[in-house]
A and B are shown apart, each in its own frame.
Chain A
Amino acid sequence: MTLALGLLAWEGISKFFLPVIFPGPLELLDRIFAIYSDPASYRVVGQSLSRIFVGFIISMLAGTAFGILMGLKRDVEIFFDSWIMVLLTVPAVCWAFLSVLWFGISETAPILTIVLIVFPFVVMNIWEGTKALENDLIEMGRVYKADRPLMLRKVLIPQLTPYIFSSLRIALSLSWKIALVAEAFGAGSGVGQELINWFQDTRVDMMLAWGASFMIVMVLIDRLVFRVWERRVFAWRPQFAT
């Protein structure tokens, strides 16, 4: 209902402007349709998606492992505590510029930018999760002489699962936003490059069409992959049972 009203208002306001400055929803839909009737567009989206996924997966794996390590090993925590804070405070644009300067127009630059920004977020989140681990269960495992791999698999990681899922969400949404910025600076291809091209032509309608359609893909991944996966993983919780 509110969505419908919003769309109506948007359409109404857009009538006062040129579509290339402030397009209405119908015009936007028309541009999106135009983009995706060109087969070349799918390659553009594919390039961006593959960069996002590589960066996202590296950040998740390394961030989770590192977060657990920091949570469990006091000396690792002390050593890296401030470094993680430093990584977190560097503005995204700085990393994007630096990556381009270091690696030029390449696949590496946007992926590195994603990892440098997303990795510390994942570390922070998982690290926070290790502080909530239940000592009672660790003690139980020790009484029964569970070895380290068994403890990790059956006692520690399952307790971190809620944090891993929230990290997945944050990491994905961050990754795709950063990917577009990084591509705009220096990848020579991908959705970010499209955005910068249309920006130079002052075509807001095309920029929005690219951005919005890409956003829809990301939301669908979140809904169709993560939510479904989460439901299955948390089947043991009575409120999730079907």
Chain B
Amino acid sequence: MMSAPTMSEQTARPGASILTAVAVRNLTKTFAAPGAAGRFTVLDAITLSVGEGEFVSIVGPSGCGKSTLLNIIAGIESHESGAVMVGSRAGHAGSQARIGYVFQSPRLLNWLTVQANIEFVLEAQNIPRPRWQELVAKHLALVGLAGQEPNYPLNLSGGMQQRLAIARALAIEPDVLLMDEPFSHLDAITARKMRFDLLDILAKARTTILFVTHDLSEAVFLSDRVYMMSIRPARIFKEVRVDVSRPRRPEDSRILDLEKTLVREFFGALEAK
């Protein structure tokens, strides 16, 4: 098991422990350069960790490789060097870890009912059938979709579809929930509501989250800790702890102040190049 010394001095969300849920060490990923010889580096020596029960965000400009990083952690993309570890609970070896993933768009199976969409991942994860009913009902209620079981996704609004995607990810009781700009396709008002609701949901579900976004204020409002990522090469150039107690308000002056400082630093670093 990996120890994370930097974590021990942090006071994360209540319920967060010092156990590591995700650990990435020195991860490097390159792609073949299109049209030219050689390769270009997408991710350059990325090191990060997420404690169990912690909400960690990665903020970076579009195209900096954030999604690639999540895909590597999820195990659907390869990498050249470095180590990725997910899950620290006893009996959960790396590849066996349960990973929930919420994408930018809901990526629902529109031909299946709301219930069957969740059952799809339960079946995929070999969760015993007798538990399905309970898991589906519990997580639909958690995201505010109770009673929608027989409905079809295309009859739901965009916000509700994304809620269903969140319920689907939580239903497998994941070791970590990866979220890739999950609110960027929603209108500002719906997105704002979804952020509040996400924090409510997490207060109940106590899930570990690794959240990727290009929106600094979103990251600061939601997270216990924020990593800032640069583009070309994609490196993590700063790590910040958000020491504001929960429940939070986005207009809280401590959050706004931190946001201002980070915006200055973030764009300072990006534009310096």
List residues of chain A with CB under 8 Å of any chain B CB. 136-137, 139-147, 150, 154-155, 158, 161, 235-238, 241
Of all chain A residues, the one with the shortest Cβ separation from B117 is A154
Residues facing A in B147-190 (CB within 8 A) are: 152-155, 172
Q: Which residues of A contact B172 (CB under 8 A)?
A: 144
A237 to B101: give the CA distance in the assembly, Å.
25
The listed residue (A142, A150, A161, A236) touching B76 by CB distance below 8 A is A142
Residues facing A in B30-80 (CB within 8 A) are: 71, 74-76
Interchain CB contact under 8 A, A136 and B105: yes
10 contacts between A and B (CB under 8 A): A140-B101, A140-B103, A142-B76, A143-B101, A144-B124, A146-B120, A146-B121, A154-B109, A235-B152, A236-B112
**How many A-B contacts at CB < 8 Å in the complex?**
56
Q: Which residues of A contact B152 (CB under 8 A)?
A: 235-236, 238
Q: Which residues of A contact B155 (CB under 8 A)?
A: 238, 241
Q: A139-B76, A236-B152 are in contact. Are A144 and B107 (CB under 8 A)?
A: no
Interface residues on B, range: 20 to 34
Q: Which residues of B contact A142 (CB under 8 A)?
A: 76
Top 6 nearest A-B pairs (CB, nearest first) are: A146-B124, A236-B152, A158-B111, A140-B107, A144-B124, A144-B121
The listed residue (A136, A139, A141, A238) touching B124 by CB distance below 8 A is A141
Interchain CB contact under 8 A, B123 and A150: yes
A145 to B121: give the CA distance in the assembly, Å.
8
Q: A143-B76, A236-B110, A237-B154 are in contact. Are A136 and B123 (CB under 8 A)?
A: no
Q: Which residues of A contact B220 (CB under 8 A)?
A: none
Of all chain A residues, the one with the shortest Cβ separation from B74 is A143
Per DSSP, chain A at the interface is helix
Q: Which residues of B contact A140 (CB under 8 A)?
A: 101, 103, 107
Q: Which residues of A contact B101 (CB under 8 A)?
A: 140, 143-144
Interchain CB contact under 8 A, A150 and B120: yes
Interchain CB contact under 8 A, A236 and B111: yes
Does any Cβ of A come within 8 Å of B26's Cβ? no
Q: A154-B112, A155-B109 are in contact. Are A136 and B125 (CB under 8 A)?
A: no
Does any Cβ of A come within 8 Å of B99's Cβ? yes
Q: Which residues of B contact A137 (CB under 8 A)?
A: 107, 109
Q: Which residues of A contact B99 (CB under 8 A)?
A: 143
Residues facing A in B126-157 (CB within 8 A) are: 152-155
Q: Which residues of A contact B109 (CB under 8 A)?
A: 137, 154-155, 158
A155 to B152: give the CA distance in the assembly, Å.
15
Interchain CB contact under 8 A, B76 and A154: no
